Amino acid sequence: MTYDRTLSRVETYFDKTATRTWERLTSDAPVSRIRGSVRVGRDRMRAQILSRLPADLTGLRVLDAGCGTGQMTEALALRGADVLAVDISPSLVDVARARLPRHLQRRVSFHAGDMLEAGLGTVDHVVAMDSLIYYAQPDLTRALAGLADRTRGKIIFTVAPRTPLLMAMWQVGKLFPRADRSPTMVPHAPGALAHALRSTPVEARLVALDRINSGFYISQAMELAR
């Protein structure tokens, strides 16, 4: 499936099918055991990504690529970053904008659209938590190469790891109830992705960070840095 077709499916899911589900998941509202494990895993992954960035981001422009309901956006703004928060779902951007504390609003610019748009300009760092997990290797490689051209520092992102357990979970389709199942994630191995990036003009090193396993949340963090 091409990048544009995948992007369209992701937009439909998050903007029309599961907006309320993700709004609840990323709040303090009670959720099921399955979604509770996802919430815990996402919290752990967010903490790991933030640990790879300076504690003081004052004066730095950071792209939150796939900002969702704005949890990462708020954390970056609290560190002093000028955050460009982008998501393909206008509905989720609206949630993120409404949730952002008033004293941080001057630090954040929200944008509903493609996180890879060249018109978004140059940034110091990029974080892309669980927003690139739906793309096949050629599209993911191109996405990272395009972001690298506009990023002075680190690109920290996540992929779905290629593990027997996760592959089995996908095959039986039990990550979420059928009514609001997300678009299909594409598994990636760090070595294969690093090899693919070597065929691009990107002059950066790909490092595999810790994998987070929390019940129904399994995700691999990676860092691309010059």
Confidence of residue 168 (pLDDT cuts 50, 70, 90): low
Q: What pLDDT, on a 0 to 100 scale, did the predictor assign at position 177?
A: 47
φ and ψ of 55, to 5 deg? -65, -30
Between 171 and 84, name the one with better pLDDT. Answer: 84
Q: Measured at the alpha carbon of residue 26, what is the angle toward residues 179 and 150, in degrees to the nearest 5?
A: 100
**CATH assignment of the domain containing 121:** 3.40.50.150
- Distance, first Cα to last Cα, the chain: 30
Token pair in block for residue 11: 């937009």
**86-131 residue pLDDT tens:** 999 999 999 999 999 999 999 999 999 999 999 999 999 999 999 9
DSSP label at residue 75: H
Confidence of residue 166 (pLDDT cuts 50, 70, 90): low
Distance CA 202, CA 196 (A): 10
Token pair in block for residue 102: 């008033």
In the chain, pLDDT over 70 holds for what percent of residues?
Answer: 91
Residue with tokens 């752990």: 44
Among 93, 83, 79, 35, which Cα is nearest to 61's? 83
Q: What pLDDT, on a 0 to 100 scale, did the predictor assign at position 226?
A: 84
Indicate if the pLDDT at residue 174 is higher than 90. no
Domain that holds residue 21: 3-225
Q: What pLDDT, on a 0 to 100 scale, did the predictor assign at position 173?
A: 53
Q: What pLDDT, on a 0 to 100 scale, did the predictor assign at position 178?
A: 47
Look at the chain and report how many structural domains it folds into.
1
Q: What pLDDT, on a 0 to 100 scale, did the predictor assign at position 180?
A: 47
**Are the C-beta atoms of residues 89 and 112 closer than 8 Å to each other?**
yes
Q: What pLDDT, on a 0 to 100 scale, did the predictor assign at position 181?
A: 53
**30-54 residue pLDDT tens:** 999 999 999 999 999 999 999 999 9
**120-154 residue pLDDT tens:** 999 999 999 999 999 999 999 999 999 999 999 99
Which residues, at least 6 apart from 1, have a Cβ–Cβ distance to it below 8 Å? 9, 136
